[in-house]
A = this chain, B = another copy of it.
Amino acid sequence: MFSMRHIGYVRSPYQDSKEIPKGFGTKHDAEGVLDLEPEFEPGLMDIEGFSHLFVIWAFHESDGFELFGTPPIDDRPHGVFATRSPRRPNPIGLTVVELLSREGARLRVRGVDMLDGTPILDIKPYLSSVPSERLRRGWLDEAEARIKS
């Protein structure tokens, strides 16, 4: 077992998960703040140089897990590891955000899809990407094709 603690909280416009845009073509343009505990501020040195960050966070309102289920954007079940379901064996969320500015231990970012008050576990620089021509999106592409047809 590994014990994880929050290093700060997400400030986002979403008070309820129903408010978070889901589905195909969803653009996560919402701005928010990664509000770190003051003790961790030294760990942000030089973070301003990165345009994008990985935010690793906890699904703090999720209880238990299901190994497969039907996502809101499809009518067929998929394995939990092939989805972003909050009901995971370890309730870990992952979001790529754009870093807009920093004020001390507060990072203003674009692209939040977490609830307001979500505990942050880690922040890492987003360094590289997989070329789009080499990326396959599995059941998501298939579900999208069914909806469009």
CA A137 to CA B41, docked complex, whole Å: 20
Q: Interface residue count for A (Cβ, 8 Å)?
A: 62
Which of B46, B81, B138, B142 lies in contact with A139, CB distance below 8 A? B46
Partner of A5, one of B2, B52, B60, B78: B2
A137 touches B130 (CB 8 A): no
Interface residues of A, dominant DSSP: mixed
- The closest CB in chain B to the CB of A132 belongs to B129
Q: Mark A40-59, 1 if CB is under 8 A from B, else 0.
A: 10111111111110101010
Least CB distance from A110 to B in Å reads 11
| Least Cβ–Cβ distance between A136 and chain B, in angstroms | 4
